[in-house]
Amino acid sequence: MASQDERRFRSVAWGCVVLGSLLLTVGLLAAGGAALFMQRSTQTEGVVLRLQAALTQGRDYGEPDVVPVVGYVDDAGFAREVNGQVGGEPTAWRVGARVPVRYQRLADGALSARIDTPGEVWGVPLGIALFGMAFVGAGVLVLRATRRPDRY
């Protein structure tokens, strides 16, 4: 008969496997969306207009991470702006620097745009997928460690 602690470990492990599977699925779906975006989007050149504080806290707690705000011109000749999604140190971007931008016109006429760097396009989807894989792996390891030899 399994001990109370062993049953608790196993239930937490199953929770990790389920949560990790959900995160892994969401990350893979988001990566698929990023792949479709890359396939269907148009690339153009943009210019870093300014830097703004990111939503994440900086490493030194006194200096916030920043994201670039990049200006570009779409295929209709309109000037547009896109905000970076991945925060970094203020020295990572230089105002006036030229950077590639990808944009896609959606069915309703709106534009979806991203700075065309691997971190901006693939960072969030792959980060979620890796986090989910870590949860699944941890759950499987605990399930294997608490397996009773007389049952198998």
Residue 33 has pLDDT above 90, yes or no: yes
Which alpha helices (H) appear in the chain, and where do they start and end?
4-40, 118-145
Q: Are 75 and 90 in contact (CB under 8 A)?
A: no
* Amino acid at residue number 44: T
Q: What is the pLDDT of residue 139?
A: 94
Higher-pLDDT residue of 58, 148: 148
pLDDT tens figures, 68-127:
999 999 988 999 999 998 877 767 788 999 999 999 998 898 889 999 998 889 998 999
* Amino acid at residue number 115: I
CA-nearest of 127, 129, 143, 146 to 15 is 143
Task: Return the half-sphere exposure (C-beta side, CA atoms, 13 A cut-off) of residue 138.
Answer: 15
pLDDT tens figures, 37-49:
999 999 999 999 9
Rg (CA), the chain: 22
